[in-house]
Copies of this chain bind each other. A is one copy, B any other.
Amino acid sequence: MKEGNQGEAVYKADRVKQEVLEKLKVLGARIVNDLKKERWPSVELPQRTTKNIVYDDSLRQYVLGSKRAVRTLSNIRHVRPFAQMVWLMKFAKQLIESGKTSTLRDAYYVALGENVDFEDQDESDDIILELESVLGNPREDFNVFPEERASIYGDLVIEYTILGFRGNRIDLSTHPDGYAIGPALTTAEFVRCGAEMVFVIEKGAVFSRFVEERADKKFKALLIHTAGQSPRNCRKLIRRIKEELNLPIYVFTDADPYGVHIASVLIHGSALSAHIKQINVPDAIWAGVYATDITKYKLPAMRFTEMDEKRLSELLEDPRYQTDPWKREVKYFEKLKRKAELEAFSKYGLEFIVKDFLPERLAELQKR
A contact set with B: CB distance below 8 Å: 100-103, 105-106, 109-110, 112-113, 145, 147-149, 151, 160, 162, 164-165, 168, 170, 174-185, 203-205, 208-209, 212, 214, 227, 300, 341, 343-350
Query: A177: which B residues are within 8 A, CB to CB?
Result: 149, 179-185
Q: Which of A109, A300, A344, A349 has the most CB of B within 10 A?
A: A109
What are 13 A-to-B residue pairs whose CB atoms are below 8 Å? A100-B350, A101-B212, A105-B346, A112-B300, A149-B178, A149-B204, A149-B227, A151-B180, A164-B214, A175-B180, A177-B185, A178-B179, A179-B179
Q: How far is the CA of A79 from the CA of B160 in the complex (A)?
A: 58
Q: How far is the CA of A112 from the CA of B301 in the complex (A)?
A: 11
Name A103's contact: one of B164, B184, B205 (CB within 8 Å).
B205
State how many copies of this chain the complex holds. Answer: 2
Contact call A109/B180, Cβ cutoff below 8 A = no
Name A109's contact: one of B105, B112, B204, B343 (CB within 8 Å).
B343
Name A176's contact: one of B151, B182, B345 (CB within 8 Å).
B182
CB distance from A57 to the nearest CB of B (A): 36
A213 — nearest CB in chain B belongs to which residue?
Answer: B100
Contact call A343/B106, Cβ cutoff below 8 A = yes
Query: A112: which B residues are within 8 A, CB to CB?
Result: 300, 347
- Contacts A109-B344, A164-B176 supplied; 13 other A-B pairs, CB < 8 Å: A106-B343, A106-B350, A109-B345, A112-B347, A149-B151, A149-B177, A149-B204, A149-B227, A175-B175, A176-B183, A177-B180, A177-B182, A179-B180
With A113-B347, A346-B106, A346-B110 already in contact, the answer to whether A170 and B160 are too (CB < 8 A) is no
With A112-B347, A113-B349, A204-B147 already in contact, the answer to whether A184 and B176 are too (CB < 8 A) is yes
Contact call A184/B180, Cβ cutoff below 8 A = no
Query: A348: which B residues are within 8 A, CB to CB?
Result: 113
Q: How far is the CA of A160 from the CA of B212 in the complex (A)?
A: 13
Query: A214: which B residues are within 8 A, CB to CB?
Result: 164
Name A162's contact: one of B110, B165, B176 (CB within 8 Å).
B176
Q: How far is the CA of A164 from the CA of B210 in the complex (A)?
A: 13
Contact call B344/A147, Cβ cutoff below 8 A = no
With A175-B170, A179-B177, A185-B177 already in contact, the answer to whether A109 and B212 are too (CB < 8 A) is no
A181 — nearest CB in chain B belongs to which residue?
Answer: B177
Q: Which of A101, A149, A162, A183 has the most CB of B within 10 A?
A: A149
CB distance from A277 to the nearest CB of B (A): 25
Query: A182: which B residues are within 8 A, CB to CB?
Result: 176-178, 204, 208
Q: How far is the CA of A181 from the CA of B165 in the complex (A)?
A: 22
Query: A347: which B residues are within 8 A, CB to CB?
Result: 109-110, 112-113
CB distance from A289 to the nearest CB of B (A): 13
CB distance from A161 to the nearest CB of B (A): 12
Contact call B176/A160, Cβ cutoff below 8 A = yes
CB distance from A340 to the nearest CB of B (A): 10
